[in-house]
Amino acid sequence: MSSFYNKTNLPPNEDIQNTFKDFKDNQIISCIVYFEKRKRSRCHIYSYPYQLKHYDNITNNFRDGLFKCVCEVSLYDEHPFEHEFFLRITQSFPLLETLTVINEQRQNNKRFRKSKNENEDLLIVKYPHLIQLNLREAHTDYHEQFLFDTKTCLSNDVHIRMNYRLAKK
């Protein structure tokens, strides 16, 4: 369940999780994100293990976990997604087939071969099952993130949607 609210006085995660204390078989995960530019908050609540085939509007605040059933993911945030975030996404969604990135912010750490820790090489993000990638609402930094083989490895025959005018730059 995911909902947007115009108010910022949402209850804390602990209170939300306590609402579902009678759900004995599953762990309840909740996450509240405030989007400053939109002046809105989003509350996302789900039971774990997660059984749906899609997971929408993942932000940088995403709590890691293993989502074996999910094959379609959308990412949205007002803050940039960095390379390490995409590594977390591939580890959490091993059967990912469709990925949509909605983020107009430039990446802060655009280095090609180094991670945040200057002594480590940047790991290549691998999407072995990806067949559809939507970058139409993403900054050109994410075109580089996914299309340069120094950062990402895509399988053959991936259908990519992106703004051609932005890609020419």
Q: 78 and 37, same structural domain?
A: no
Q: What is the DSSP-derived secondary structure letter of residue 21?
A: T
pLDDT tens for each residue of 125-168: 999 999 999 999 999 999 999 998 889 999 889 999 998 776 66
Sheet containing 159-161: order of strands:
54-58, 72-76, 98-103, 132-138, 159-161
Residue numbers of the domain that contains 91? 50-168
| Extended beta strands in 52-107, E state | 54-58, 72-76, 98-103
User: Do residues 116 and 64 share a domain?
Assistant: yes
Note whether 72 and 53 are within 8 A (CB): yes
Cα(38)–Cα(20) distance, integer angstroms: 29
What is the pLDDT confidence band of residue 121, given thresholds at 50, 70 and 90? Answer: low
Domains: count for the chain: 2
Nearest to 105 by CA among 59, 169, 56, 55: 59
Q: What is the pLDDT of residues 51-64, one digit of tens each?
A: 999 999 999 999 89
Last residue of a domain, one of 10, 29, 48: 48
Asked if 101 and 163 sit in the same domain, the reply is yes
Q: Is this model's pTM higher than 0.95 or not?
A: no
